Amino acid sequence: MQLFNNTAWRWWWLILLLIGLDQLTKQLVHQNMALFDSIELLPFFNLTYVRNYGAAFSFLSDAGGWQRWFFTILAVVISSVIAVWMSRLPRQQIKLGLALSLVFAGAIGNLIDRSIYGYVIDFFHLYYQTWHYPAFNIADSAICIGAALIIWDSFSSDSEAKK
């Protein structure tokens, strides 16, 4: 139990919550929308069901199938590294612990999709007039926010003092 009390693994509840919310929303979209269906929520925001066979922003999505296994292995390796990092990270490093938890949860959320379906379910779609941001999901959001927090933490003046 010390692993959860004295290290960054104290964020396990957030990891489970994000993975659960990510998977729940993806299942709701998958079961209730046809591929490419779109529901306008706001004048600049739709729920649009798309399948992402690649990485972020559909990078390598048309690469012929090998990318599924590449991104699956990459997610497993990154998640493993983060898990070890979190087990060694002192409890006092709140910002970095939170950041790693977000990246870990996002990686696992998308790994689940890729393992089950061979693609990741994306559905948040932001746009303005003719400009469209690539569709994304809760896991993608967690990864981006976590990565931003890691960068912020690396530039924080108190970052080195706590290591």
Which are the contacts of 47, defined by CB distance < 8 A and separation ≥ 6? 29, 33, 38, 39, 41, 123, 124, 125
Q: Is the pLDDT of residue 2 over 80?
A: no
Enclosing domain of residue 77: 2-155
Cα–Cα dist 86/146, whole Å: 13
| Annotated catalytic residue, options 22, 113, 140, 153 | 140
pLDDT of residue 10: 86
| Annotated catalytic residue, options 22, 37, 113, 122 | 122
Q: What's the longest Cα–Cα distance across the chain? A: 53
* pLDDT, mean of residues 128-143: 96
What's the pLDDT tens digit per position in 24-52? 999 999 999 999 999 999 999 999 999 99
pLDDT of residue 67: 74
Indicate the residue type of 85. W
pLDDT of residue 26: 99
Domain count for the chain:
1
Mark whether 153 is an active-site residue.
Answer: no
Q: Is the pLDDT of residue 9 over 90?
A: no
Q: Is the pLDDT of residue 138 over 90?
A: yes
Residue 160 belongs to some domain of the structure: no
Residue 114 belongs to some domain of the structure: yes
Q: How many CB atoms lie within 10 A of CB 123?
A: 22
Cα separation values, 84 from 3, 8, 51, 80, 163, Å = 11, 10, 31, 6, 16
Cα–Cα dist 52/143, whole Å: 16
Residue 161 belongs to some domain of the structure: no
Q: Is the pLDDT of residue 160 over 60?
A: no
What's the pLDDT tens digit per position in 43-94? 999 999 999 987 766 666 666 667 778 888 999 999 999 999 999 998 889 9
Indicate the residue type of 13. W
Mark whether 113 is an active-site residue.
Answer: no
Residue 88 belongs to some domain of the structure: yes
